[in-house]
Structure 1
Amino acid sequence: MTILLIALGAAIGAPLRYLTDRAVQARHGSPFPWGTLTVNVAGSVLLGGLLAAPVAPGVTALVGTGFCGALTTWSTLSYETLRLARTGERRPAYANVTLSVVAGLGAAFLGYAVVTALSG
């Protein structure tokens, strides 16, 4: 049953990642990957909140592993960073890594703190 929950979450998260990335990137004329940053930060805040919530293992599989796992993407972050660096966009490449890690961790802590405060 767990594998089905993970697959269901991923089936929702992956298309949402793609659609969100395309919608965000369409609004920016820069080569910086704002769409990937957006989905990674959104997934991090959701995962941080999920970690703080008293939920059943099935919910963690569905939302955490399936949905957030498919919504967020370290591989695309890596690819886009290398693409920036290879095209001479070294500062944006460094900014992408730094901003993604700092914002992602900050978002996870924020999600955790908000859910903890609301449930306590």
Structure 2
Amino acid sequence: MSALGANIVLLVGAGGALGALARYAVGVLLSGRTADTLAVNVLGSFALGALTVVSAEGSALSATFGVGFCGAFTTFSSFAVETVLLYEDGERRAAIRNAAVNLAGALLAVGLGGWVAIWLS
């Protein structure tokens, strides 16, 4: 592995550690069955949308914050589990609403993040 490749691995790891800690902090701050997951997915999608505008793919910034931080901060696996559990608990409408709000919110946030980054640059 080249020196650049080794550095990228360390940057992804550092960003991932920070993202995981931030994810945990949001979980502590927000109560509710799915509120924390929705918040991190929308915020992380916004950040990643902005980052894709200001950072070249494969750059140190992209590796640290795009792959590392946002990858660890957002949690679509938890979103999927929470949605299935709502459905299995008989809360069918809540499950559908959770799926729709998470997906639409994340998609809108990516677009808005990109737009904001373009507007600020």
- Unaligned 5+ residue runs, structure 1? none
Q: How many residues align?
A: 114
Q: Aligned residue for 2:54?
A: 53
- Structure 2 CA distance for partners of 1:18 and 1:54, relative to 1, 3 Å: closer
- The one-letter amino acid paired with 1:113 is W
* Residue identity matched to 2:24: Y
Corresponding position of 1:35: 36
Structure 1 vs Structure 2 CA RMSD: 1.2
Following TM superposition, where does structure 1 have runs of at least 4 consecutive aligned residues deviating by more than 6 angstroms? Answer: none
For 1:1-120, what aligned pairs fall within 5 Å after superposition? Answer: 1-25=7-31, 28=32, 31=33, 33-54=34-55, 57-119=59-121
In structure 2, distance between residues paired with 1:60 and 1:73: 18
Q: Counterpart amino acid of 2:16?
A: A
Task: Report if the CA contact (8 A) 2:15-2:69 is conserved.
Answer: yes
Identity of aligned residues (%): 39
Residue 22 of structure 1 deviates from its aligned partner by: 2.6
TM-score with structure 2 setting the length: 0.89
Question: Residue type matched to 2:118 in 1?
Answer: T
Check whether the contact 2:50–2:116 (CA below 8 A) recurs between aligned residues: yes
Give the distance between the partners of 1:52 and 1:19, measured in 2 at CA.
Answer: 27
Partner Cα separation in structure 1 for residue 77 and residue 55 of structure 2: 30
What TM-score results when the alignment is normalised by the length of structure 1? 0.90
